[in-house]
Amino acid sequence: NAGVTQTPKFQVLKTGQSMTLQCAQDMNHEYMSWYRQDPGMGLRLIHYSVGAGITDQGEVPNGYNVSRSTTEDFPLRLLSAAPSQTSVYFCASSYQTGGDEQFFGPGTRLTVL
Amino acid sequence: GENVEQHPSTLSVQEGDSAVIKCTYSDSASNYFPWYKQELGKRPQLIIDIRSNVGEKKDQRIAVTLNKTAKHFSLHITETQPEDSAVYFCAASDSSGGSYIPTFGRGTSLIVHP
């Protein structure tokens, strides 16, 4: 199993550009989520999904969209990039919500100029 | 919603010393408490977890304790080694259908000096 994969690993955007961060898992996990990690702020939840076709907002959803058309994929879209979105983004999945280990992807380091 | 406080934010120890990281949570319905280790430039990975029906759990040099009454849990690392240097995150969630989204603490940067 590849586990949780993310692409790209690094990305530089200009303010106002849009892009999609890809996330996929091959463990048949129902729960998937996106976090951003900033120095001293820990892991902040952006959006999450409890199954295909179901998504919801986390703590910091503004400026981001998600969709979950399949169990395997959970892309994160930046609509109009801003310097405040410079961060490291992690996708995670787990077998079920709440009481299960979160498996994280390798992360995407995004810089917005 | 759930709120998780983690202390200290930075912990510096000498090799061989013990290290303790503490977390408090606010939602009494939370019943699953994992700890993740994140090495520099890597992804967070689970190192140990505890559920609310257990007071303590050990795995070699690491242990976690849970006090449900006081709503706090702690990570204990004994005989620290340089490879224990990393950022450690605690989290809390409710697996029974309440606030099932895990809430993370802000992390503790552990530095083990050789």
**What is the rounded CA–CA span in Å between residue B26 and residue B2?**
6
Most confidently predicted of A39-48, B55-64, B88-97: B55-64
Contact: A101, B34; criterion CB under 8 Å? yes
**What is the rounded CA–CA span in Å between residue A87 and residue B83?**
26
Residue pairs spanning A and B at CB distance below 8 A = 60
Q: pLDDT, tens digit, for every residue of A66-93?
A: 999 999 999 999 999 999 999 999 999 9
Interface probe for B, chosen from A55, A97, A108 (most Cβ of B below 10 Å), is A97
**Mean pLDDT value across residues B36-53:** 95
Q: Examine the pLDDT at A20 and tell me if it is beyond 90.
A: yes
CB A112 within 8 A of CB A65: no
Rounded to a whole number of angstroms, the distance from the CA of A59 to the nearest CA of chain B is: 10
Q: pLDDT, tens digit, for every residue of A25-45?
A: 999 999 999 999 998 888 999
pLDDT of residue A98: 65
Q: Is B27 on the interface with A (CB under 8 A)?
A: no
**Mean pLDDT value across residues B32-50:** 96
Residues constituting chain B: 114
Q: Which residue has the tokens 């820990």?
A: A42
Q: Is A40 on the interface with B (CB under 8 A)?
A: yes
Q: Examine the pLDDT at A23 and tell me if it is beyond 70.
A: yes
Cα Rg of chain B, angstroms: 14
Q: Is A98 on the interface with B (CB under 8 A)?
A: yes
Q: Tell me what the pLDDT averaged over chain B comes to.
A: 94
Contact: A90, B31; criterion CB under 8 Å? no
**Mean pLDDT value across residues B64-80:** 97
Q: Judging by beta carbons within 10 Å of its beta carbon (0-12, 13-18, 19+), is residue A40 exposed, middle or buried?
A: exposed
On chain B, the residues whose CB falls within 8 A of the CB of A99 are 31-32, 51, 93-95, 100
**What is the rounded CA–CA span in Å between residue B72 and residue A94?**
24
Q: How confident is the model at residue A95 (pLDDT cuts 50, 70, 90)?
A: confident
Q: Is B73 on the interface with A (CB under 8 A)?
A: no
Q: Residue A89's closest CA among A79, A100, A77?
A: A77
**Mean pLDDT value across residues B45-69:** 95
**Mean pLDDT value across residues A11-31:** 96
Closest Cβ–Cβ partner in A41, A90, A98 for B95: A98
Closest Cβ–Cβ partner in B31, B34, B89 for A43: B89
**What is the rounded CA–CA span in Å between residue A24 and residue B3?**
29
